[in-house]
Amino acid sequence: MRGRFTIKKSLNFEGIGLHTGKPSRITVHPAQGGEGIVFRKGDVEIPARYEFVSQTSRRTVLEKDGVRIETVEHLLSAMYGLGITDALVEVEGEEIPAMDGSSLPFAEAFYENLVKQEGEIQPYRLMLPEKVEKDGRRVEAFPSDELTVSTAIRYQHPFIPSQFLELTITPETYLREIAPARTYAFEEEVEELRKRGLAAGGSLENALVISKNGYMNEPRFPDEPVRHKILDLLGDLALLGRPFVGRIMALAPGHEIHVEFVRKLAEEGAGGPVVELDEIKRLIPHRYPFLLVDRIIHMDEKRAVGIKQVTANEEFFQGHFPHYPVMPGVLIVEAIAQVGAVAFFKKFGGDGKMAFFAGIDEVRFKRQVKPGDTLVLHIRLLRKSSRMVKMEGKAVVQGQPVASGIFTAIIADIR
């Protein structure tokens, strides 16, 4: 668990929007622990979450009930980099003000006014590698004990063919190494961006402009562009709604793939907390050789993910089949269901209760599971009443689906 942070007092920022070129003003207010980061415009509130992203071309746009807020990423990056978990951002205008093109004006003001508050937040501690890839852009992440970001950019450009930077993010490294890095553009693309209705507020005052021969204004770091890429990535990562613990490696990233990565973490990934074997044994009565889940590595409102290491010593391989050991498909189904049972009893309490299959539908087997495979078992809650639960389940080995189905269980009292 981590502490929750907000700011001591309301802070104002004003300026013009980088893309709209229009004046705007925001007031960032303290918020109660647990409220999260929320934008408010008029009477519409938009949580800073990936579900509300409506556009990702050159900036990140949030939208709800017809209300749009443009270019939220630099402000969110400052909050995320400093560990702010709760704040209300009141927006007057269409876009967050560009300030100097970096997140430094926000980050400095937040850092001075940072305050720890009641409550804790569960970080998303990455438990399994994740990857999204599209059109030569890639974001990958691996389990780690801290938040480390490495980013590489590559261009067909004589002055900036490539830049690379790796940094472990703390409030101090963020403030010093990332926050000052300004947004950037190549001289030859400025006109085209303007034709697309973007960068209308961009100038040498709020952007680093790169010509074929070098930077057109004074850079703040020799590798300022790649630092700004990390700034943007952290701003979009904030849309996860929780601190992230893991090692991220991004190649030629942009807002679209950042948001896709966040969506994948939230909807398919495994981000703790962990239920270990001893607790699993308290929650369900299964024992060797029929206990088919080693550990739960993710649980949230709707989903759980468990793992089962399939070894050559499994009892069932003695008969299934000695010359060609394959895990029986029905046991894969059983393993998925056991993850569902552990998650269900952990969440809703299981004293004196057991779960029994009431139905199994739409089961498909796609691949064989053999000794040495790690089964990743995903379960999603579809419906629940006091006596019945319906879940969708899936087993995956190395990112490839091996089995899936819909499971219904009755919850019975065994007293």
Binding mask 279-318 for Zn ion (x = CB under 5 A): ----------------------------------------
Nearer to Zn ion, 181 or 369 (CB): 181
Q: How far is the CB of 235 from Zn ion (least distance, A)?
A: 7
Map the footprint of Zn ion across residues 1-20, applying CB under 5 A. none
Judge contact between 93 and 19, C-beta under 8 A. no
**How far apart are alpha carbons 103 and 119 in whole angstroms?**
27
What does residue 136 show for φ and ψ, rounded to 5 degrees?
80, 0
Judge contact between 184 and 218, C-beta under 8 A. no
Nearer to Zn ion, 76 or 396 (CB): 76
Is 60 a residue that touches Zn ion (CB under 5 A)? no
Q: How far is the CB of 232 from Zn ion (least distance, A)?
A: 4
Nearer to Zn ion, 232 or 392 (CB): 232
Nearer to Zn ion, 163 or 183 (CB): 183
For residue 44, the cross-strand partners are: 41
- Is the peptide bond between 253 and the residue preceding it cis, with omega within 30 degrees of 0? no
Map the footprint of Zn ion across residues 171-230, applying CB under 5 A. 183
Element (H, E) at 62: strand 61-64
What amino acid occupies position 252? A
**How far apart are alpha carbons 221 and 409 in whole angstroms?**
59
255 is catalytic: yes
Kindly list the distances between the CA atom of residue 327 and the CA atoms of 112, 236, 319, 321, 387, in Å, as whole numbers in the listed order: 58, 41, 10, 9, 31
Nearer to Zn ion, 44 or 200 (CB): 200
Burial of 324 (0-12, 13-18, 19+ CB in 10 A): exposed
Q: How far is the CB of 77 from Zn ion (least distance, A)?
A: 8
Q: How far is the CB of 18 from Zn ion (least distance, A)?
A: 8
Q: Which of 19, 255, 258, 378 is an active site residue?
A: 255
Nearer to Zn ion, 80 or 317 (CB): 80
Q: Which of 29, 157, 286, 320 is an active site residue?
A: 320
Q: How far is the CB of 229 from Zn ion (least distance, A)?
A: 8
Candidates 94, 95, 130, 232; binder of Zn ion (CB under 5 A) is 232
Which tokens go with 339? 């993850």
19 is catalytic: no
**How far apart are alpha carbons 76 and 253 in whole angstroms?**
17
Q: How far is the CB of 206 from Zn ion (least distance, A)?
A: 11
Alpha helices in 138-253 (DSSP H): 171-173, 190-195, 224-237
Backbone conformation region of residue 42, classed left if phi is above 0, alpha if psi is from -120 to 50, else beta? left
How many amino acids of this chain bind Zn ion (CB under 5 A)?
2
Stretch that binds Zn ion, among 114-122, 202-210, 232-240, 327-335 (CB under 5 A): 232-240
Binding site for Zn ion (CB under 5 A): 183, 232
The residues assigned a catalytic role are: 255, 320
